[in-house]
Chains A and B, each alone.
Chain A
Amino acid sequence: MNIHQFEVIVVGAGGAGLMAGLYASRTASTAVISKLYPTRSHTGAAQGGIGAALGNLEEDHPEWHTFDTVKGSDYLGDQDAIEFMCEEAIDAILELEHMGLPFDRTPDGKISQRPFGGHTNNLTGKPVRRAAHAADRTGHMILQTLYQQCLKNNVKFYDEFQVVDLLIKDGRTVGAVALDMATGELHVFHGKTVIIATGGHGRMWEITSNAYAYSGDGAAITWRRGIPLEDMEFFQFHPTGIYKLGILITEGVRGEGGILFNGKGERFMTKYAPTVKDLASRDVISRAMYIEIRDGNGINGSNYLYLDVRPEVVNKYAALDGRTNPDGSPINVTADELLHKLPDIVDFNRVYLGIDPMTQPMPIQPTAHYTMGGIPTNMYGEVVIDEKNTVFPGLYAAGEVACVSIHGANRLGTNSLLDLVVFGKYAGLRAAEYARGVDYGSLPDDPEGFAREQFDRIRNGSGKENAFTIGREMKKVMFDDVGVFRTEEGMKRALAKIGELRERFKQVGVKDTGRIFNTEVINAWELGNLLDLAEVVTYSALNRTESRGGHARDDYAKRDDVNWLKHTFIWPDNGKFRIAYKPVVITKYQPKERVY
C-alpha cells in the first residue's frame, strides 16, 4: 500500500486549494493533490474581475459590497459571513498584488477596477467600479500567481492524482484516497485534516461554461461518507454563454458598456431592471433572456440573443444612460481600447464563431456556470454536518465546492474569486491550527477498500450501457427541466430520469483494461459523481416551493420569506434523502423586494 502522511491534505489546486495550501504549509506539513496540473484548474477560466471596495476610482465601502452581496443572494446568504468576506476583501486583493499579481492599473498606478453586475453605489443605485481586473483573464492571473507562490514556498504537490474517497474514523477525518493517474495505483493520504477544494459540478448541464473537470468530485465523495450538502437547488446560469458552445463571455463586457438586444433590436433589459439594466444580477438577466426567447423575441425567432460591444453601441448607450468616465468626461471608447480590455473575448469569438465583436454582435444564451450550494461550512472553512452548525473534526472545504453561505440563492460576479482567496486562506489557517493540537488518528481497516470497490465495479461492468450516452441524457434532462425555469412536472420527470440513468450506470462497461492513464475508467467514475449530485440537486429543487435567486419556478413564482427564508440541508438516507433546515443569519439587512 502507498501511504503518505501529512498534517494537512488539500484536495484540489484551484484558487481555494492553492490559497489553503499556501497558508497551511507555513506551519504544518501539507500536500496538495489535484487531478489536473494546478495551472489547468478552472479558476483560470474566470475572466472579468475580483470584487473589493478598494475605492480606487470612485467612492466605495465594504458595507456597500456587503449589502449588494446580500441583495444579490436574494437574502439567502448568511450576513455575518458576507460581511466578513467583504471586509476581508480589500486586504485579500492587496495581498494578491503584493504576491505580484499583474492587475491592470489606473493612470495614477493603482489597481484598476470596472463595474460588474449587481455591484452598486448604495446611495445612487448606479453601478460602481468594484471589480479589480487583469484584462479579461483575472482568474488566470490569480491561478498563476498563487501556484507560483506555492512553488516559492515549496508546497508539496501531487499532480494528476484523482481523489476518490474521504477517510473517516471514530468521528474524525483521517485522510483521503487518491488514484495516481499515471500508474493506476491507489494512494492513501493519511492526514490530521483534509481540505476539500475541488470546485463545482456544472458539467451536469448540456450548455455549460464549466471545464470537463467540473464533475463534483469533492461533494460526491463526502456525500457518500454521509456528510450533508447545503442549498443544492441553487445553481447559477450565466446570461452570456457563446450560443450552443456555452463558453463564457464575461460580464466585464457589459461592465465595459456592452448591451443586450433581442431579435427586434430592443434593449430588453430596461424592462426588467430599469436602474442598472444590463448590469443586473445574473439570475435576473438569465430569466429575462428566457422570457424574451419564449415570447419569440430571439434573434430571427431562434433561441439566442445578442450581446453588442461595438464601440459605437457602447458610446451611444453610455451617453443615453448618462454614464461617464471617472473624471466626468463622456465615454468615447475605440475598438482598440476595447480590444485591449477584452482580448480573450475577441479571440473566443473569432476562433469559435468566426466573428469580430468590434464589428458584429455576439450570439449568446444562458450557460450553466456556478454551484452556489455545496459542502456546508462556517466562515472559517470548517465543515458543519447539521443545521446546528456542529463542526466535523478535521474536515474543511473552500471555494466553489463549499457553501458558507455567502452567495445564497445567486452569486454576484467577482465574488467567486474573492470567495476562493478569503475562505481558502481561512480553511488553510484553521486546518493547520487544528493539526497542531491533535495526533494522527488511526486509519480504518482497508482504507482503499471503498474506492477499490467503486472502480472494480466500473472495470468489471457488463458493458450493456455506454457512459457517454448516459452522460448526454443526464445533461439534456437537467438543462431542460432543472435549468433557468423549473416546474414540479419537469423536475419530477427529471428525478425519474436521473433514477433511471443511475440504474443504467451500473451496467456501464469500459474497453480500457489498463492501469496507465486509464481516463475511460476515471471519466466513468466522474459521471457517477455527477449522477449522484444531479439527483440531490433535483430533489432539493423540487422540495423548495418558492422562487429565489437562481431557483425560479413557474408554479411558485414568488419568493416566500415566511416559509423559505432558510437553508436546505440534505443527507443520504439508505437510498433516500433526509432534509432539514437552517435559519439564515440576518444581521443588518431585513429581506425586501429585490429590484435592480
Chain B
Amino acid sequence: MQVTLKVFRFNPEVDKKWHYETYVIEAQLTDRVLDLLEYVKGYIDGTLSFRRSCAHGVCGSDALRVNGLNRLACKTLVRDVGDKITVDPIMGLKVIKDLIVDMDPFFDNYKKILPYFINESPIPADGRERLQSPEQRERFDDTTKCILCACCTTSCPSFWGSDDYLGPAALVTAHRFIFDSRDEAAADRLQIVAETSGLVRCHTVYNCTLACPREIQVTVAIGELKRAVMTGKVD
C-alpha cells in the first residue's frame, strides 16, 4: 500500500521557519512509523533527524506526535493510524532539529523530585533483602513501568503553558518512591510535589494517561499523590 507521510522539518543551520515535507512511500500495515522514518532517512533524505534506539517501545527515545497524538514511533503501526500520517515533534520542549527536541527541561524536572531510593536505616543484620510483601510491592507496580519517554508530560496543557511544572512523568516517579514501603523520604517528596510547580497544576485532563505507551494510569497516580498531600497519609 501507499502511505503519505507528512513530516515536520526544521534545520536550525538553514531554515528560518519550520515546514512540512511530504513523502509518498510503499508500506505495509505492520510497518512501524519508525520504519517509515528510517526508510525516508535511508533512501530519500538523509538529513531527516530523529532519535531512536530499541525500536520496540522500551527505551523511550522516539516519542513523537503521530496524527496529533503523542506516541512512540516504534510502537505505532500503519494499521493503527491509516495511510495518511503526519509526524510532529512532541510539544512544550524546544525543537532542536526536525523531530529532535531539547529534553533537558524534562529531565531537570525529573531530577527535582529526588528520583532515587532513599533509606538511610541499616540494612537487615543478615545482609539480606529488606522484606516487602507482594501487596506492598503491588502498591507501586504501575509507576515502576515509566521509561521517561515524555509522551505524558508533553501532552499536558499545563506543561505547554510552563515547563517549570514538574509534569506527569516526574510525578509518576515521585509516586513510585512515595508508595514504596521501603523508602523513607515520602514526606520530603510530598512537600516537593505540593509546591506551586507541582500537583496544583494538574487539572485532570487525562491526556497523560491516554498518551502513555506503557499504559500507566498516570492520572490515577497523580490523584493518589493529591490525596496523600491532603490527608498527610500514604496508604
Would B129 and A111 count as touching, CB distance under 8 A? yes
Q: Is the CB of B97 within 8 A of A45?
A: no
Tell me which of A217-225, A232-240, A320-328, A509-517 binds B: A509-517
Q: How far is the CA of A510 from the CA of B54 in the complex (A)?
A: 24
Q: For the complex formed, measure the closest distance between the CB of A72 and the CB atoms of chain B, giving whole angstroms.
A: 26
On chain B, the residues within 8 Å of A145 by CB distance are: 117
Report the minimum CB–CB distance from B169 to chain A (whole Å): 11
Contacts of A39 in B (CB 8 A): 59-60, 147-148
Within 8 A of A (CB), among B117-155: 117-119, 123, 127-134, 136-137, 140-141, 144-145, 147-148
Interface residues of A in 500-527 (CB under 8 A from B): 510-512, 514-520, 523
**CB contact under 8 A between A517 and B49, given known A36-B61, A97-B129:** yes
Asked whether any CB of chain B lies closer than 8 Å to the CB of A594, the reply is: no
Number of interface residues of B (CB under 8 A): 60
Contacts of B141 in A (CB 8 A): 102, 135
With contacts A100-B117, A109-B132, A344-B58 taken as known, whether A512 is within 8 angstroms of B46 at the C-beta atoms is yes
CB of B46 within 8 A of CB of A510, answer: yes
Q: Are A520 and B41 in contact (CB under 8 A)?
A: yes
* Cβ-defined contact, A94 with B129, below 8 A: yes
* Smallest CB separation, A237 vs chain B (Å): 18
- Chain A residues with Cβ below 8 Å from B183 are 100
Are B47 and A42 closer than 8 Å at their CB atoms? no
Tell me the bound Cα distance from A435 to B13 in angstroms. Answer: 41
**Given contacts A109-B133, A111-B129, A151-B115, is CB(A102)–CB(B59) below 8 Å?**
no
- Contact of A300 with B by CB under 8 A: no
Q: How many contacts between A and B, using CB within 8 angstroms?
A: 155
Verify if A589 is at the interface (C-beta below 8 Å from B).
Answer: no
Residue numbers in B under 8 Å from A354 (CB-CB): 79
- State in angstroms the CA–CA spacing of A36 and B54 once bound together: 11
Smallest beta-carbon distance B113→chain A, Å: 11
Q: How far is the CA of A352 from the CA of B30 in the complex (A)?
A: 7
Check A516 against B47 for contact (C-beta < 8 Å): no
Dominant SS among interface residues on chain B: loop
Q: How large is the interface on A (under 10, 10 to 19, 20 to 34, 35 or more residues)?
A: 35 or more
The docked-state distance in angstroms from the alpha carbon of A111 to that of B137 is: 11
Give every chain B residue within 8 A of A42 (Cβ-Cβ): 53-54, 59
Distance A41 CA – B12 CA, assembled complex (angstroms): 28
B84 interface contact, C-beta 8 A: no
Residue A152 at the chain B interface, CB threshold 8 Å? yes
Which of A45, A98, A152 is within 8 Å of B56, CB to CB? A45
Name the residue of chain A whose CB is nearest to the CB of B103.
Answer: A37
Residue pairs across A and B with Cβ atoms less than 8 A apart, 24 shown, are: A36-B53, A40-B59, A44-B58, A94-B129, A99-B117, A100-B183, A102-B144, A102-B180, A105-B132, A105-B133, A110-B129, A148-B117, A149-B117, A151-B111, A152-B118, A182-B96, A212-B55, A348-B56, A348-B57, A468-B42, A516-B12, A516-B96, A519-B41, A519-B50
**What is the interface of chain B, defined by CB distance below 8 A to chain A?**
11-14, 30, 41-43, 45-47, 49-50, 52-61, 75, 77, 79, 96-97, 100, 103, 107, 111, 115-119, 123, 127-134, 136-137, 140-141, 144-145, 147-148, 176-177, 180, 182-183, 215
Question: Which residues of A come within 8 Å of B, CB atoms?
Answer: 36-37, 39-42, 44-45, 91, 94, 97-100, 102-111, 134-135, 137, 140-141, 144-145, 148-149, 151-152, 182, 211-213, 245, 247, 344, 347-348, 351-352, 354, 466-468, 510-512, 514-520, 523
Top 3 A-B pairs, shortest CB-CB distance: A100-B117, A468-B42, A109-B131
